[in-house]
Amino acid sequence: MSAAATPVRDPAHQVPVLEVRGLTRYFGGLAAVKDVDLQVPEGAIFGVIGPNGAGKTTLFSMVTGSLAPSAGRVFFRGRDVTGLKAFQRVRLGITRTHQIVRPFRSLTVIENVELATRYGRRPPGTAAEARRRAMEILEFVGLGAQAGLPASVLPVGQQKLLELARALATAPDLLLCDEICGGLTDAETREVMDLLRRIRASGTTILYIEHDMRAVMSVCDRIAVLNFGEKLAEGSPEEIQRNPAVIEAYLGRGAAGVDSDA
């Protein structure tokens, strides 16, 4: 994983990496997600926000293949992947993190990442290659010094970084981050925001759920807002902060003054 920055073109003029059309999921008679359309451009950090229960994680689960939609389609680089299983989408380049981190606690930090390299787009040919690639990723996310530690002893901030490292080990084109800053301090959140920018600069598009509004507004190129499972609004961070419907439904009347230096 190279941290060298590459120019990011205007997302509005790029072919979508991800497109969802009319995506819908019912649980019984309740629509958790209803008729959602999204286009995520190449090279973007695209935010998805909304109140608890708005359908954000359900949307992620349908994009990654762990949950089948009741209706609608998912397209990855123009290919309909709606019928593919989660592991097949990982091999195409779609990977996610989870809100609740799930490391293999009995393994070391580097063993967790080595294991992940074997299930992505470019499985290593040898154990030495897997170890080298895992160490490179750990250095990239800032966990190189913790490589030999049991995953179980990491504090929450470093467990979040390990979650990101395991996702990166699959060599994704599209990385879905589900509340990666939950439970972090302000300083840790700023570090993760910098890491997301470096991940994007290295060539990975990011779809990002987050409740921390300073984080979202500081790092995202474009934001979609879900409310009661439907898309309420979409636009730039500035447009979202000024949107009266978003302010009323979610952000609160003081949202126009959100500080963006997180």
For CATH 3.40.50.300, list the domain ranges present in the chain. Answer: 1-93+174-262
d(CA 247, CA 44) in angstroms, rounded, equals: 24
The gap from C-alpha 59 to its chain's centroid, in whole angstroms, comes to 12
Q: Give pLDDT tens digits for 110-149.
A: 999 999 999 999 999 999 999 999 999 999 999 999 999 9
Query: Residue 226 forms beta bridges with which residues?
Result: 231
Amino acid letter at 196?
Answer: L
**pLDDT (0 to 100) of residue 8:** 44
Residue 132's H or E segment, with its range, is helix 127-141
What CATH number matches the domain at 1-93+174-262, 3.20.20.70, 3.40.30.10, 1.10.3470.10, 3.40.50.300?
A: 3.40.50.300
Q: Which residues pair with 222 in a beta bridge?
A: 46
pLDDT in tens, 144-202: 999 999 999 999 999 999 999 999 999 999 999 998 888 888 999 999 999 999 999 99
Residues 6+ apart with CB under 8 A from 240: 49, 217, 223, 225, 233, 246, 251
Task: Kindly report the pTM of this predicted structure.
Answer: 0.87
Structure tokens at 232: 């309420």
Q: How far is 127 from 80, CA to CA, in rounded Å?
A: 34
